[in-house]
Amino acid sequence: MIRPRPSLGLLDRVLRVLFPGVLFLLLNGCANVSYYSQLASGQLQLLRAREPVSSVIADPQRDQKLRARLAQSQRARTFASQQLHLPDNQSYRLYADIGRPYVVWNVFVTPEFSLKPQNHCFPIAGCVAYRGYYSQSAARGEAALQRLQGMDVSIGGVEAYSTLGWFNDPIMNTMMGWGDERLATLIFHELAHQRFYVKDDTEFNESFATFVEQEGTRQWRAFRSLPPEDDTQAQHRDAFIQLVLNTRTRLENLYALPLPPEQMRQHKAAEFERLRTEYRQLRDHQWAGDKRYDAWINAPMNNARLLPFGLYDQWVPAFAALFRQEDGDWVKFYAAVERLGELPVRERKSALKALVDSSSR
């Protein structure tokens, strides 16, 4: 059944009524009232900042570059629904200027000698390996408290996120520094989260969305009669990620040893220095001096900084194999993804591993 969409003004009025109740549900049994309060108020602020992209494009008083970028984004948005069979709703047909460079700042936390993150669970998204803050100062405050407790901490700014279809997500000013193609890939990625999402399985969700993003971008380029993208940067990215994942594996093995704290710290520091050395060798001898990852590698290093690596692409080869099995048919592919997602977690991971193994034969 097709339901009429409320206007943005009506939706805002409804949300002002509903948000206190939603907040109460979030807080029920939770001690940290201020944290969940900032989540609710931050999301409400974002929703109230939205306006139709079509209105921005039609307004000659608005920045011409912004209007051109948004016009191009809408072509990608239409392609996403018509060709990639992603949700056809108002998400990314709206625009919001929130007046800051990131929409949220995520705080990742691990023990000093462990790569196991502090997980945080939420009613809609399930459990994730970070806490998000709409204020950078609040994120820094949380990070400082965690450091006082001897934890490893990392803060990362996030330019976009998905509400998984609960609300119509906008294109934001935080995305406007990207090229047209990267903005298109973001739209494909976030709409994939709306298309299907499994609670408490970040690796599955992000790998699925990353595959849709990558294959969707390939098809988007072909649709516009553009040549395939130069994969040099992708190869560098994959090699860099592998260096980090190798370091994680060595650290996991190290932390399993019965060593005294000071000796453990020395070995931990040595592993991070090995990562830097291996990176520089790769950069100077195989990448012709490409320094795109220098800032990251030269910053202070700890366990928490390694957490995001591997989450977004661990099972991408599995989804690529599944897409080939379904003969590149998006509708059949999504149905197969849903069947995987319904499996118990252990069976799901076994099925994904089998798909990876089949792709390497």
Q: What pLDDT was estimated at residue 53?
A: 98
Task: Please tell me which residue, 125 or 306, carries the higher pLDDT value.
Answer: 306
CA atoms within 13 A on the CB side of 252: 11
Size of the chain, expressed as the number of residues it contains = 361
Contact 283, 290 (CB under 8 A): yes
Q: What pLDDT was estimated at residue 30?
A: 43
Q: What pLDDT was estimated at residue 124?
A: 65
To the nearest 10 degrees (0 to 180), the angle between helices 180-195 and 64-82 is: 40
Q: Poorest-confidence range of 246-260, 263-277, 307-321?
A: 307-321
Tell me the β-bridge partners of 51.
Answer: 95
Inter-residue long-range contacts of 145-150, CB under 8 Å, 24+ positions, other chains counted: 146/107, 146/109, 150/111, 150/112
Q: What is the pLDDT of residues 47-92, one digit of tens each?
A: 999 999 999 999 999 999 999 999 999 999 999 999 999 999 999 9
Q: What is the pLDDT of residues 21-49, one digit of tens each?
A: 444 444 444 447 788 888 889 999 999 99
Residue 101: pLDDT over 90: yes
Q: What pLDDT was estimated at residue 254?
A: 98
Q: What pLDDT was estimated at residue 361?
A: 67
CB contact set of 70 (below 8 Å; sequence gap of 6+): 53, 56, 57, 95, 171
Average pLDDT value over all residues in the chain: 89
% residues pLDDT > 90 (the chain): 73
Residue 5: pLDDT over 90: no
Q: Can you tell me the distance from the alpha carbon of 54 to that of 38, in angstroms, rounded to the nearest whole number?
A: 30
CA distances from 8 to 41, 50, 98, 246, 339 (A): 17, 8, 16, 48, 35
Q: What pLDDT was estimated at residue 129?
A: 85
Query: Residue 226's CB: how many other CB atoms inside 10 A?
Result: 10
> Measured on CA atoms in the order 41, 46, 51, 52, is the torsion positive or negative?
negative
If DSSP codes are grouped into helix, strand and coil, which group holds residue 201? coil
Q: What pLDDT was estimated at residue 68?
A: 96
CA distances from 199 to 67, 195, 344 (A): 37, 13, 12
